[in-house]
């Protein structure tokens, strides 16, 4: 059935036996048969017992990514079943105007990301193996969604390491550069020239929750990108929102989104957030609500220390800028930093800032970004809404 067999070492990692789909080079005893990188291979124990099937890439640090624990053909039917199962596991969210259709390993299709934005889809083929299945994937997506267009955004250093050529463009139908969609009755735009698939859908529930605290508040949305949190605050009745991001293009898109929704009580600033927070402290300006939704400060364990330092600085400076009794909404989007570690950083920041933190809400990922306990890498998003009060009063 398969061109080659990968025989694992005797001491198979418990992680692999328990459902984790990644197999590293140093976990493989030998490979029997001829294959090309990206091909599907059979996976066997040292005692020649069948363990699963997956695609292989010797150029990648993760040599094999498991697709199934049962012997089967990886064909159109397999791909369709996986995508339909993913949609079923979204429950009522799959009826929304925008949601993540496929979340890679968490949905049994390692390396594949599919986001739905209104009448359009945006996809990423992040591994060589999943890219070899692209015709099956595209055929299935067209059959299920009948989209006006499918945009591919396959870019980044990880893609290059896989041996893939970077690509960005429409691969089915066509569409606008800025794709319109709605979340929580707010109009948004997914930027095909922006980050990832064009817009971030994982903070939808957290942003909706923050709306409950917005009425009449003066707010600051840091690392705003195209304005997800700030737009929700404005929808929730905020008195004023300041959007800050280093990307001029992201700020321009945010301005357009505000215009589409009729939001006028806002301003947009292109700046490095670290510098901006420092300057705001020196000017003694205070806010009722500050949102911190930074990019991943740590892609791997080697950058953990730098990430800790970055989180500590932005949260400490924000706590100093919040009015007594005001709110800090703060997030971390890397699985390298755990929930407990992130909260410890916040406690340290509060001690240095001489404030008391009261937890109002602890959030995370919505169900279209599934968290699989057998795959800890799928658990990345931490989000807290905290009331910040002065210690000495």
Question: pLDDT, tens digit, for every residue of 60-73?
Answer: 989 999 999 999 99
Share of the chain above pLDDT 90, in %: 88
pLDDT of residue 34: 94
Inter-residue contact 271 to 243 (CB < 8 Å): no
β-bridge pairing 40-44 and 266-270: unpaired
> Residue 96's CB: how many other CB atoms inside 10 A?
16
Interatomic CA distance for residues 302 and 306, integer angstroms: 9
Q: Is the pLDDT of residue 1 over 80?
A: no
Q: Is the pLDDT of residue 86 over 80?
A: yes
CATH code of the domain containing 38 = 2.30.130.10
pLDDT of residue 298: 67
Q: Is the pLDDT of residue 114 over 90?
A: yes
What is the band of 304 on the pLDDT scale with cuts at 50, 70, 90? Answer: confident
Both 239 and 343 in one domain: the answer is yes
pLDDT of residue 157: 82
Domain-located, residue 87: yes
Average pLDDT over residues 141-153: 98
Interatomic CA distance for residues 308 and 328, integer angstroms: 18
C-alpha dihedral over 110, 112, 116, 119, to 10 degrees?
Answer: -140
Q: Is the pLDDT of residue 214 over 90?
A: yes
Sequence-ordered list of residues with C-beta below 8 angstroms from that of 44, at least 6 positions apart, any chain: 5, 6, 7, 8, 50, 51
Lowest mean pLDDT among 1-5, 101-105, 224-228: 1-5
Place of tokens 């959007």: 243
Q: Is the pLDDT of residue 251 over 70?
A: yes
Interatomic CA distance for residues 193 and 169, integer angstroms: 9
pLDDT tens digit sequence for 218-228: 999 999 999 99
Q: What are the structure tokens assigned to 206, written together?
A: 């957290």
pLDDT of residue 118: 98
Both 261 and 357 in one domain: the answer is yes
Both 220 and 262 in one domain: the answer is yes
pLDDT of residue 21: 97
Average pLDDT over residues 336-345: 94
> Which one has a higher pLDDT value, 240 or 160?
240
pLDDT of residue 235: 98
Domain-located, residue 242: yes
pLDDT of residue 7: 96
Nearest CA to 184 out of 93, 100, 294 is that of: 93
- Could you give phi then psi for residue 231, rounded to 5 degrees? -65, -40
Number of domains in the chain: 3
What sign does the CA torsion over 127, 84, 180, 290 have? negative
| Angle, helix 134-145 to helix 76-88, in steps of 10 degrees | 50
Both 385 and 255 in one domain: the answer is yes
pLDDT tens digit sequence for 22-48: 999 999 999 999 999 999 999 999 999
Interatomic CA distance for residues 333 and 383, integer angstroms: 9
Inter-residue contact 386 to 330 (CB < 8 Å): yes
What is the band of 296 on the pLDDT scale with cuts at 50, 70, 90? Answer: confident
Average pLDDT over residues 91-110: 97
What is the band of 156 on the pLDDT scale with cuts at 50, 70, 90? Answer: confident
Q: Which residues pair with 181 in a beta bridge?
A: 188
Domain-located, residue 194: no
Inter-residue contact 330 to 318 (CB < 8 Å): yes
Domain-located, residue 369: yes
Average pLDDT over residues 204-226: 98
Q: State the distance between the two ends of the chain, measured CA to CA, in whole angstroms.
A: 73
Both 356 and 212 in one domain: the answer is yes
Place of tokens 């048969």: 33
Both 340 and 225 in one domain: the answer is yes
pLDDT of residue 392: 82
CATH code of the domain containing 148 = 3.30.750.80
Domain-located, residue 233: yes
Distance of CA 235 to the CA centre of its chain: 24
Interatomic CA distance for residues 8 and 32, integer angstroms: 11
Which H or E run contains 222? strand 218-222
User: Cα Rg for the chain, rounded, in angstroms?
Assistant: 23
Both 257 and 137 in one domain: the answer is no
Nearest CA to 353 out of 313, 303, 319 is that of: 319
pLDDT of residue 306: 85
Q: What are the structure tokens assigned to 385, written together?
A: 């809404």
pLDDT of residue 218: 98
Both 275 and 325 in one domain: the answer is yes
Interatomic CA distance for residues 70 and 371, integer angstroms: 22
Interatomic CA distance for residues 69 and 18, integer angstroms: 11
What is the band of 13 on the pLDDT scale with cuts at 50, 70, 90? Answer: confident
- Geometric angle at alpha carbon 269, from 293 and 214, rounded to 5°: 55
Lowest mean pLDDT among 197-206, 211-220, 273-282, 383-392: 273-282
Q: Which domain holds residue 303?
A: 202-390
What is the band of 144 on the pLDDT scale with cuts at 50, 70, 90? Answer: very high
Share of the chain above pLDDT 70, in %: 99
What is the band of 302 on the pLDDT scale with cuts at 50, 70, 90? Answer: confident
Q: Is the pLDDT of residue 192 over 90?
A: yes
User: In the predicted model, what is the mean pLDDT of the chain?
Assistant: 95
Both 123 and 220 in one domain: the answer is no
pTM for the full predicted model: 0.95
Both 33 and 96 in one domain: the answer is no
């Amino acid at each position: 059935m398969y061109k080659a067999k990968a025989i694992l070492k005797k001491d198979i990692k418990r992680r692999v036996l328990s459902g984790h789909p990644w197999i590293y080079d140093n976990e493989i005893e030998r490979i029997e048969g001829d294959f090309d990188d990206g091909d599907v291979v059979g996976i066997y124990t040292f005692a020649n017992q069948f363990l699963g099937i997956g695609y292989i890439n010797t150029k990648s640090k993760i040599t094999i990514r498991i697709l199934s624990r049962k012997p089967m053909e990886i064909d159109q039917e397999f791909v369709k079943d996986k995508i339909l199962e993913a949609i079923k596991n979204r429950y009522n969210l799959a009826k929304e105007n925008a949601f993540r259709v496929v979340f890679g390993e968490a949905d049994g299709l390692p390396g594949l990301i599919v986001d739905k934005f209104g009448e359009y889809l945006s996809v990423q083929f992040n591994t060589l193996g999943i890219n070899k299945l692209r015709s099956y994937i595209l055929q299935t997506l067209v059959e299920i969604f009948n989209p006006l267009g499918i945009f591919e955004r396959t870019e980044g250093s990880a893609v290059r390491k896989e041996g893939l050529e970077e690509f960005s463009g429409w691969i089915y139908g066509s569409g606008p550069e800025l794709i319109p969609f709605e979340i929580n009755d707010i109009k948004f735009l997914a930027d095909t020239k922006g980050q990832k698939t064009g817009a971030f859908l994982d903070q939808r529930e957290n942003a909706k929750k923050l709306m409950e605290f917005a009425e009449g508040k003066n707010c600051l949305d840091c690392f705003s990108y195209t304005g997800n949190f700030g737009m929700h605050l404005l929808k929730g009745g905020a008195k004023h929102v300041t959007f800050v991001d280093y990307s001029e293009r992201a700020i321009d898109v945010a301005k357009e989104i505000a215009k589409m929704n009729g939001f006028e009580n806002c301003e947009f600033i292109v700046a490095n957030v670290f510098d901006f927070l420092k300057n705001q402290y020196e000017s003694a300006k205070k806010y009722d609500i500050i949102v911190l939704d930074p990019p991943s400060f740590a892609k791997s364990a080697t950058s953990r220390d730098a990430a800790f330092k970055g989180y500590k600085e932005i949260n400490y400076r924000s706590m100093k800028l919040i009015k007594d009794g005001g709110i800090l909404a703060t997030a971390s989007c890397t699985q390298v930093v755990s929930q407990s570690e992130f909260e410890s950083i916040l406690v340290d920041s509060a001690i240095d800032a001489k404030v008391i933190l009261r937890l109002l809400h602890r959030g995370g990922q919505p169900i279209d970004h599934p968290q699989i306990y057998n795959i800890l890498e799928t658990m990345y998003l931490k989000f807290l809404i905290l009331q910040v009060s002065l210690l000495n009063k």
